[in-house]
Structure 1
Amino acid sequence: MEMTGKITQVLPEKNGTSARGPWRKQEYVIELPGDFPKQVCFMVWGDRIDQYGIREGQELTVSFDLESREFNGRWYTDVKAWRVAPSSSGEPGGEPFRDEPPPFDEEPPF
């Protein structure tokens, strides 16, 4: 899924340690344009926080996945960004930030 809008808030970074090791996440609020603008809070994990360098006021296109989980009978939904790029109406000449590996020159053996 994808959404395009303006970053209205950069929330404080959170970090900790789990059984898998240290983790970091940062949440951002993006305002989606329209007659009745909507605000969506999305998160970025790990080194992507530094890679994207998201700042308040930027016009961005965010590609994301939705994920829900149940805890004690309540459901919680996360909006996890996997790619962030300047929007075509925002910062001209910007290249998308990619977290995908570079293409292979040939098919990998099976």
Structure 2
Amino acid sequence: MSYELTGKIKLIQETQTFSSGFTKREMVVTVEDGNYPQDISLEFLKDKISLLDGLNAGQSVTVTFDIRGREYNGRYFNNLVGWKIQADTGAGDSGNYPPPVEENPFDSPFDPADDDIPF
């Protein structure tokens, strides 16, 4: 099951490589939650690390992630593992769009010559 969150990137950590060859990279996204914004830490593993390339602090993103849990020495831990990032471009979108078409309320698709009412 996957989840999504939208917020602003607070920070992106450097890639960590472990002796086993396993690699991960963490990022923190600030999510507005009423009066108390939440800093959510997500990790990206192995080949998903490259998704963080080109992203910067302060950028708005939507992250798709899975929740993973495990037990270690009688304690339970959860990890949010990201696997998709979409940079939000809506606020800075200045594309050239055609002007809206103004409709005349007196123009009607009804053609009086086409009065084929079956009753």
* TM-score normalised to structure 2 length: 0.66
* Residue of structure 2 in register with 1:7 after alignment: 9
Aligned partners of 2:46, 2:58: CA distance in 1, in Å?
22
- Return 5+ residue gaps in structure 1 as ranges: 94-110
Whether contact under 8 Å (2:51, 2:85) holds in the other structure is no
* Residue of structure 1 in register with 2:18 after alignment: 16
Q: Could you say if the C-alpha distance between residues 75 and 92 of structure 1 is closer, same or farther in structure 2, counting changes exceeding 3 Å?
A: farther
Aligned partners of 1:51, 1:87: CA distance in 2, in Å?
14
Q: State the structure with more CA Rg.
A: 2
Deviation of 1:74 after TM superposition, in Å, equals 0.6
- Return 5+ residue gaps in structure 2 as ranges: 95-119
Whether contact under 8 Å (1:67, 1:79) holds in the other structure is yes
What SS does the aligned partner of 1:40 have? strand
* TM-score normalised to structure 1 length: 0.71
Deviation of 1:47 after TM superposition, in Å, equals 2.5
Q: Percent identity?
A: 27
Aligned partners of 1:65, 1:37: CA distance in 2, in Å?
21
Runs of 4+ in 1 over 4 A off after TM superposition: 90-93
Q: CA RMSD in A?
A: 2.0
Q: How does 1:26-65 map to 2 (within 5 A)?
A: 26-35=25-34, 36-53=36-53, 54-65=55-66
Q: How many residues align?
A: 90
What SS does the aligned partner of 1:50 have? helix
